[in-house]
Structures are given as structure tokens and as C-alpha cells.
Amino acid sequence: MPPAPAAAANRSLRKLLVVVLVLLVVGALVYRSLEGFSWARLGQALREARLSLILLSVAAVYAGYALRALRWVRLSRYLGGAGFSSVFRSTVIGFTMIFLLGRAGEPIRPILIARKDRLPISSMFGIYAMERVFDTAATAVLAGLSLFLFPDMLSSGGANAAWIAPARTTGVVLLAGLLAAIMFLVYFRFHGAEAVNRRMAAWRTRAGWRARLAMIFGGFFEGLQAIRTVSDLLAAVAYSAAHWAVIACICLWVAHAFGGKLGALSFPGAMLVLAFTMVGSTLQLPVVGGGSQAASLFAFTRILGVEQEPALAASIVLWLVTFAACSVVGVPLLIHEGWSMGELRRLARAEAVAKAAGTHVDAGGAPAKSGESSR
């Protein structure tokens, strides 16, 4: 095993390479989307945006967090149960930490929920794994349906005609692949998941990739235990559909706030923009974002044929609403509950180290209360 300084240097180098990759990808997408760009027209687009629709979108973001919390509460009822209020607060704080720390802040939410409700941390990471499954499925559904509807609804909203034929084929493939994945997941849940988990138990005592793989599958298996009946599955699907429908509405409202060609954007068009944004969000830098803005800008300009300046303005505002608005409530909540940025950053790093060893951090303990030392 390499010494700690070498390991830290390797992690720093990997982070630097990721940052460089994100910047290159974002720069290439922006360069291709902005030819003959006018800063004056960008400023005009921002000044003339309808503030009421943007504020409505911000309020809807918190409705989306509430739906996420309700889904988490439902999924955790067989694993000890969690309260809506604590899950909602942890959800807002968790997304705030993703905004502030980037992907490094993702483990904060399940850790906070486990600590607040005194639940097994492995079970909460299992719920988190199932949440990722449903969100990935939502991306496929959004992209598949919007692409499938291209000829009837998207092209009338200004979509590039060259995309129509391959778009329909891609949509059919995505939806068919998703249906096959769902069928496999249901079958695997009741015929094999428990046996595979038992066979991987010995791997958890070993170091290296086997322990990490066993931990990942163990979390997935824990999450599968949250779905025991058809009603459990339908409830999770319903909450997921409602959540992503709200986020699609946010994309629609933000676009309509800028009028013009954006004001004619249809709901399937908003679904397509959201699908691009979700894929682009995998390349995110802390605070400044990058991937989601570039992806939504590409969808607006190259696929939907929107002018560059209003498209960039809408992409920036969409990112601020969907990624940054959580900090408006999240930062005060973080302070009120006695957490410091340093504590949560250390918690995220500790989870990263524990994950590399095939475990999770200890869910015990509680944050320092307001007024206590948090150094």
C-alpha cells in the first residue's frame, strides 16, 4: 500500500485531471454552440426575462426536494423508518453540499439521514443506490419519450429536422432497453439477489477491488429490500415520475421566461433539455458547474434551434435554479443544525476513504450544536 502522502498526491492528480477534462468538454461544447456571439444581446435577454416564472421555478425546486424526501421515507419504511422533516432537511443540505463540493458531496445526504434518524448507514446507502437507479431510469424515459415524440411535437417547436429520423430510433431503443432493465431488476430481486449477496460476503473481508465491489453490490441489495410488494414499486415510480415532471416543468418555465423561440418550447422539448442537463451534470465543478450548462446550451442551440444569446441566458438561469437555489435554504439549515463546512467536508472525505476500503463511515454521533466548537 502506498504511503499516505503518495496516495494524497495521486488523489489530487486525479481531481486535477477531472477538472481539466470537464473544462475541455465544456469549452468544446460552448465553442461549437456560440459562433458570432453578442454579449449585448445576452444582457438584453437577461434583463427582459420574466422574473415571476423564474421565482415559480425556484419554488418548484423545493417541491421536487419534498417529493424526493417522500420517496426516501417510503423506501426506508422496511429498514427502520425515517421522518419526512428530517429527510427533507438532510436532502436540502445534501444538495447544497453537492453544489459547494461537487460530486464529492454526494455521500453527505445518506450519512445525515442515518445520523438524524438513527438508522443503519448501509441501509441508507442502499436507499441512495435505489434512488440512483430510479433517477437513471427517469433520464432514459425523458430522453426516450422526447426523442420518440420529435416528429409530432418537437419539430413544430423549431427542432432541427436533421435530428428527427435518428431521434425516433434512439427513443425506441432507449425505451426498449429501459423495459428490459426493469424486467431484469424485478426478476433479480426475487430470484438471485440474496444468493449473490451471500456469495460475495467473503469478499468484504478482503482489501482492494473485491471489497469495493462487494460493498457496492451490498448497497444495491440493501436498496432492493425496500421494494417488497407491487405497491412499493408503484409508489417509488409514482414519486419519481412526479419529481421529474416537476423538474421538466421548471425547464419549461425557465425557457418561457425568455420569450421568443424559447417561449414556444413544448413540454417534450423541455423533457429533452432536461435529459441533456442530467447527462451533463455528471461533469460538474463545485460552485461553477459547467457540464449541465453546456449540455442544456447544446440542446437549445443545436437541436432546438434557439438563438445563441437567449439560449445561453436560459442555460445559466436553469443551472442557478436547479443546482444553486438549494443553497438559499440549505446554508441557513446547515448553520442552524450546527454543521460547519469543514465538518461536512471531512465527513465526505472520510466516506471516500472508507469506500475505498469497502466500508462506510460510522453513522454514530451528531454534529456540534450551534455555539459549540466545530474545529
For residue 134, what is its C-alpha cell? 430510479
**Helix, strand, or coil (residue 84):** helix
How far CA 214 is from CA of 26, 95, 222, 358, in Å, comes to 34, 27, 12, 7
Of 301, 326, 330, 303, which Cα lies nearest the Cα of 314?
301
Q: Under a CB-based contact definition with an 8 Å cutoff, are residues 128 and 223 in contact?
A: yes
Alpha carbon distance 55, 195 (integer Å): 50
CB atoms within 10 A of CB 133: 18
What pTM was estimated for this model as a whole? 0.76
- Could you tell me which residues come within 8 angstroms of residue 106 by beta carbon, excluding any fewer than 6 positions away? 94, 98, 348
- Could you tell me which residues come within 8 angstroms of residue 72 by beta carbon, excluding any fewer than 6 positions away? 82, 87, 91, 113, 127, 131
For the chain, which residues make up each domain, given as ranges? Answer: 38-356
Can you give the pLDDT of all 375 residues of the chain as single tens digits? 444 455 545 555 665 565 566 556 555 555 555 555 556 666 777 788 889 999 999 999 999 999 999 999 998 888 777 889 999 999 999 999 988 887 778 888 988 998 888 887 777 888 888 888 888 888 777 777 776 665 555 555 455 556 666 666 666 676 677 677 777 766 666 666 666 666 666 666 666 666 666 666 666 676 677 777 888 888 888 999 899 999 999 999 999 999 888 988 888 888 888 888 887 776 665 655 567 788 888 888 877 888 888 888 899 899 989 988 999 999 999 888 888 778 888 887 877 776 666 667 765 544 444 333 333
Of 254, 251, 261, which Cα lies nearest the Cα of 51?
254
- Could you tell me which residues come within 8 angstroms of residue 200 by beta carbon, excluding any fewer than 6 positions away? 213, 214, 217, 218
367 Ramachandran zone, left/alpha/beta (phi>0; psi -120 to 50) = beta
Q: Under a CB-based contact definition with an 8 Å cutoff, are residues 72 and 113 in contact?
A: yes
Q: b/e string for 224-262 if b means 16 or more Cβ within 10 A?
A: bbbbeeeeebebbeebbeebbbbbbbbbbbbbbbbeebb
Q: How far apart are the first and last CA of the chain?
A: 30
**Helix, strand, or coil (residue 244):** helix
